[in-house]
Structure 1
């Protein structure tokens, strides 16, 4: 036997490219030339590169072998092995010893032995293992296939006999153990061109134990972001709906739009249909989601007006979109319309409107927004739809529209900063909204809507007037800061505000006629102007602590002079009903929260602030101050239709004291508390305190605790104190397992007595009770996300026969096997009704 052996030094490279016909290869290039001669179907375009330590040419067997860190590259595919043999008789390439094939997508195929065609597209692989890494939501996801033997066809399809698939990493300490989950199948077919993985006679195993069997199914491969097919099902178990399952189908119609259809089959109510259309355009995107059902058993729900038991057809329409006109301007909408206020909750339709514990409403808006370098413009309309039993839709306003504009610039000559603020608000309400100040004056309209027995300003507030109201407000302001040679900071300012009101009350129908106790029935135009000048003074005393940081003590004084506020109580108040006097509003020019009220008179605000910063992120600060009505009428002493200003701490000539203390020794711990103290006896009228702590790296625990106590404010409807404690914590048991929980404790329980005084007349309850609570356990790793949560939250404003507030107890289970699918189950475990509008 004649053998020709060419040995190349270890550091050298045996390299050959598919060159023009007629080239004369060196002996070390024979393997390249032999394989290249079979690749002439694509002449001169694709080049084969071979890199090896040693090449052996065997004339008797008509084979060429390369050994020693062999690497072959062709058409984006790379074959690596300890030894590669090319059989010129069959045109097959045999690779052995640490064989590894990397395709153009980055997938890595390893095996004990490869038998491939000379272009690496077809062949058989023994003891195959495929590792492929993709990026999903910014995180790398690695998938793994394995099989005793696999066949590769046309470089597009790989068939795994007795294959195994998983996205879990093997245990580093015990690689022989099965992964957390894996799919075993008699045959797994991975089609690269279709980007689909087919499973035949498949079993899902968790921790090596079979938990589910499917004779045939398919999934997109990990490189797919969106693909037509069925999504993970959702299961339903409910007293009112029966048992059922939702089977979503996703249709990727085009790269920029798709449709998801999700019918839910319910044993008691029939078929609930849901569909979502998503469309992405060059300048923005929008989506439309609809749901509807023709109920088979409406009697499962309470009759009107407490439920939708009189309805056969129920449904919802939700749509949102946002489009950019240019780099500064955009417009969009977010609309939710429902057939009745209970539909979304009864059928567990996902919607952010249901996320709050106590306030549930669907807010629809259409807007246009623009932003410049120092300007902002926003105009939008609102439609509110109450989603709780006690919400009366006729009392909800329709806003058409509200406009805000702000512009800031530096004027020439006088310097400083000039600001222009514009607000235009127009709304309509069909029925007036009243709120009684005491239980004695409380009654119900139609048996469920709270209102006043007697309509008098002394014992009844007007939260919203019927008819229409429009207001246009313009405020021009100027401020400039001066620092004198000794470091004192002087900031003069001035503003001029003008408000125009158009009020057209509707005194007909329902309880609207009672508005005549408050306002006249004639259409009216009213104008209000408020000029003001003021001065703010600060004198910071700075002490340098060297490398430890510095501390600053800063006395602050502010005085504002303006005429008295006019027409108090003669105008509706829609946007200025929330008034909280604390450290954050102490130095506000106008402490009202909206434009419908305008603070008047001469007022002085004074306080002192202390701040210290140090090494290792140490920070502490404190503020204490008071406000004084120096001259003129005190705007907070005379209540409007909603009594805003009374019981605020600002109604006396010398206000309550307000203060804040903040302390953070490092980045892992922070404490802040703010309080309002009575100006006569220094009793605490309002207190909030919160602490946040992250104990890493000493303890894998993070927690927060918030305490709040608000004294009674009978003039605005709070006849009892309000006190509560909210705590939450997350404990990372391991890098993968975590426990979390939160609890809201009502420390006074007076709220229940106010809602149902008869139930508590003989047995008043003053002990603390848990208002809401959640507990959860979670697991997350590279391939699996699992969570189990228990949630207890108070029922809506309804009470059971015992006088106790009914509660909603829910268990939520979710499991995601990354790249394979996800499933979620939500089960209510109440013994009685679980939802609003549901019959017992």
Structure 2
């Protein structure tokens, strides 16, 4: 970026600082200069009364910070300070002049014309030395209002309007600073020329050059032999000729660009010419060459790239990988910045064994909501000789302060598209695709919902479609003694292409209750009645087309909170008791549309219904006893330790079941426990346990140990167990091997089937200006499927682009605690 001094009225009302020293044996007179009415200079020693000078010119005091300048003509000058000594101690040659009667006080030195700078840290460049950037004084006058201040060791003026400054010349206007050994100012043309060790600085740019030419009247600047630095993007480079056309454009000839530290050029771009459009936030270059260690490795005849954080249209970095299922996989996305609030990415993707997929994603966002449309189309799969693809559309909008809408539509050409073309376990293991549209209202005491649900099955049974579903939930404000009343209601029409019966279900659940609580206790009795009725189609002969169920309920929830102050923390002991009584109502004739059993855990100890959904209301006469203890940090309120234990005691058999289940006759539920512990050293432990009292063994258990003492050090160990169904271990890590190398990996193994589900092993190198990630992956869709093997490589040129497969998304899904910035740590060596 070239030197740029904007044209303004004060560009012509300059203040000259002429500082000099003489020998230590004699004191020098103070020289004061002002412009005469004829356009020349009148200078002299300051020692006499001011009357003679006052008739010819007016000397105004220095412009104070925050003050507004007086109105002056373009060619008027104002002297605001002079000095008899300069920091370097070099003497000044006196001007030919007439004596000036009175001296002017000296209040500044050349140091005042040097900028105050500070390191500017840039995200993703923490391994680099931060560049120094100019600190902006919020109280300083703007460039338009600020005076042009000049300090030099010597100056001369010819008979015309040209002034020559020599020796450590320093020029300042507001937050712009120029330094040079020599400078020449032509007053009539408003032209500055600087030669020798030229350096220009302003917020966001620092340029060193051999020469500089600044035209104040046209805002045009030309610098030759330039070395530039951009602190806010940690970029630097060179240009044989740099032309600044005002604040809109910058032209560069034979330029280079890199984000590496000054002592190491791991990579750089070189081009014959480039143009930076500061209004659009983009740059274009012709005949671009990418150099790695000064070796050219890539040539591009034309390149468009961003120069700030604004989005711009253009090609994105290609990604590639290789697998035994699809062969070589190459994607070349094109980004289209349609408007500030919407964009589109068009991605041709070539799969060696299948063909070419055209992908499209359109995003839109505004104050009312957002939308996302994704489309993929494979004209002819080489393996199936058929068309394949998908469509996904999601939209969320706020219709008013209380009303909102949401659409989620997904469609696949076939059931195996995601498994065969998808990139991971989480994508390829979906069992159905959701299609939903809903409108909702949320008020202080009322909630409304109108929804339509449908599904595209991928494997297994297809859920019932809800066409439509209407919900109304309401509650009154708390009255005296915490008394309240409320109702949960739902009307749903269930449809299915294959299963019967279908029909409509009405569910009404009114309730009254009390909510009594204090600092050390709570008590919540509640009485309710649940009515559920059906209007069924295609029923089995002999079954009712309109069965109903009417079930009264009573619950009582209470607890105490005991606290003990332990200095830096508070320890609590929280016993809790919950009684539930639900009458036994015959429900075998009721259909099962959307009801199942949730996993039994600590939260289920306090649930009014042991089933999810309205098709079953579990009978109950039971008492829950639970105990929670926790440690609370008194400084920040965090809970480093929480332990919860509980169990249900049954007074009667549970006769309400789902089809295929038997009556439950045990007197006690499984014993459940949940533990959450976190240390300040980065070690945490989460565990959940369900103990079967009847068989004295564990029914379900999970243990997860997470160690992350700092952002780029992660070790995860987890174990999951579900009796007779699942037993898996999962180990993952990200660990530094020195200052810049990182080891990463994951191993997911089924102990029950003695089968590896997924293995990822990789290495990462992260330097100041580039990073490389190499990973090898093997995974399977299920126990019976063949392995899918792939090799992924990603090379990132920081501040420019990345080339290769997007490994980071895979690591974020597979390594708990991993994020894009995990390996960005400060190199202190």
After TM superposition, the score normalised by the length of structure 2 is 0.73
Is contact 2:721-2:728 (8 Å) kept?
Answer: yes
Q: Which residue of 2 aligns with 1:503?
A: 536
Match of 1:248 in 2: 333
Aligned position for 1:639: 657
Alignment of 1:330-349 (within 5 A): 330-348=404-422
Is residue 573 of structure 1 aligned with residue 592 of structure 2? Answer: yes
CA contact (8 A) 1:9 1:53 kept: no
Range with greater deviation from structure 2 (210-219 or 332-341): 210-219
Q: Does 1:795 align with 2:781?
A: yes
Q: For the residues of structure 2 that align with 1:111 and 1:243, how far apart are their CA atoms? A: 48
Q: Cα distance, 1:17 vs. partner?
A: 6.7
* Counterpart position of 2:800: 820
CA separation of 1:360 and 1:185: change in aligned 2, threshold 3 A: farther
Distance 1:590 1:237, change over 3 A: closer
Give how far 1:323 is off: 1.8
Between 1:551-560 and 1:329-338, the stretch displaced more is 551-560
Aligned to 1:71: 171
- Equivalent position of 2:124 in the other structure: none
For residues 227 and 614 of structure 1, what CA distance do their matches in structure 2 show?
47
Which of 806, 811, 831 is equivalent to 2:791?
A: 811
Write the deviation string for residues 51-79 of structure 1: whole angstroms up to 9, x where unpaired: 123473411585314565633439x9664
Aligned equivalent of 2:269, options 178, 183, 186: 183
**What are the residue-to-residue correspondences of 1:208-357 with 2, within 5 Å?**
208-210=293-295, 212-223=297-308, 225-235=310-320, 245-264=330-349, 271-281=356-366, 283-295=368-380, 298=381, 300-301=382-383, 309=384, 311=386, 313-348=387-422, 355-356=426-427
Question: Any gaps of 5 or more consecutive residues in structure 2?
Answer: 1-15, 22-29, 31-60, 83-142, 808-829
Separation of aligned partners in 1, 2:322 and 2:704: 39
Q: In the alignment, which of 582, 591, 600 is matched to residue 562 of structure 1?
A: 582
- 2:103 aligns with none
Deviations 1:798-825 (A, max 9, x none): x3xxxxx412222233333344333333
Separation in 2, partners of 1:81, 1:494: 87
Give the 3 Å change call, closer, same or farther, for CA 202–521 of structure 1 in structure 2: farther
User: Does the CA contact (< 8 Å) of 1:673 and 1:689 recur in 2?
Assistant: yes
Aligned equivalents of 1:90, 1:415: Cα separation in 2: 83
Q: CA deviation at 1:146?
A: 1.6
Whole-Å separation in 2 of the counterparts to 1:484 and 1:246? 61
Preserved contact between residue 219 and residue 820 of structure 1 (Cα < 8 Å) = no
CA RMSD of aligned residues (A): 4.0
| Distance change in 2, residues 1:268/1:77 (3 Å) | same
Report the equivalent of 2:108: none
Q: Secondary structure at the match of 1:263?
A: strand
How many Å apart are 1:187 and its aligned residue?
3.2
Partners of 1:809 and 1:294 in 2: CA distance? 25
Q: For the structure 1 residues 142 and 423, does the alpha-carbon distance in structure 2 shift closer, same or farther, using more than 3 Å as the test?
A: farther
Q: Find the aligned partners of 2:594 and 2:179 in 1 and give their Cα distance.
A: 72
Contact 1:385 1:396 in 2 (8 A): no
How many residue pairs align between the two structures? Answer: 688
User: What SS class does the counterpart of residue 585 from structure 1 fall into?
Assistant: helix
> Are residues 478 and 784 of structure 1, via their aligned partners in 2, closer, same or farther at CA, if it must alter by over 3 Å?
farther
Closer/same/farther in 2, CA of residues 667 and 52 from structure 1, 3 Å limit: same
Distance 1:642 1:217, change over 3 A: farther
Do the aligned partners of 1:504 and 1:522 also contact (CA within 8 Å) in 2?
A: no
Measured in 1, the distance between the counterparts of 2:248 and 2:584 equals 82
Are positions 1:671 and 2:685 aligned together?
A: yes
* Cα distance in 2 for residues equivalent to 1:256 and 1:383: 30
Q: Does 1:122 align with 2:220?
A: yes
| CA contact 1:663–1:672 (8 Å) conserved in 2 | yes
Shift of the 746–87 alpha-carbon distance from structure 1 to 2, 3 Å rule, reads: same
SS at match of 1:232: coil
1:687 maps to 701
Q: 1:148 to 1:504 in 2, by over 3 A?
A: same
Task: Establish whether residue 622 from structure 1 lines up as the match of residue 663 from structure 2.
Answer: no
Once residues 426 and 541 of structure 2 are traced to their aligned partners in structure 1, the CA distance between those partners, rounded to angstroms, is: 40
Query: Take 1:681 and 1:347, find their aligned partners in 2: how far apart are those partners?
Result: 45
SS at structure 2 position matched to 1:262:
strand
1:160 aligns with 2:252: yes
- For the pair shown, the structure with the greater C-alpha radius of gyration is 2
Question: Structure 1 unaligned runs (5+)?
Answer: 31-44, 135-140, 302-308, 433-465, 507-518, 712-719, 750-767, 800-804, 828-840
User: What is the aligned partner in structure 1 of residue 567 from structure 2?
Assistant: 547
Cα distance in 2, alignment partners of residues 25 and 528 from structure 1:
96
Check the 8 A contact 2:464/2:593 in 1, yes or no.
no
Distance (whole Å) between structure 1 residues aligned to residue 775 and residue 618 of structure 2: 48
* Displacement after TM superposition at 1:165 (Å): 0.6
- Retained in 1: the 8 A contact 2:512–2:526? yes
Q: How many angstroms does 1:325 deviate by?
A: 0.7
Matched residue SS, 1:586: helix
Q: What secondary structure does 1:52 align onto?
A: strand
| Cα distance in 2 for residues equivalent to 1:275 and 1:744 | 33
Distance 2:557 2:370 in 1: 47
More RCO (CA 8 Å, sep 6+): 2
Contact residue 183 and residue 193 of structure 2 kept, 8 A:
yes
Contact 1:618 1:665 in 2 (8 A): no
Contact 2:75 2:188 in 1 (8 A): no
Task: Check 1:25–1:500 CA distance in 2 against 1; reply closer, same or farther (3 A cut).
Answer: same
| Alpha-carbon spacing, 1:596–1:133, altered in 2? closer, same or farther (3 Å) | farther
Give, in whole Å, the separation in 1 of the partners of 2:544 and 2:225.
Answer: 87
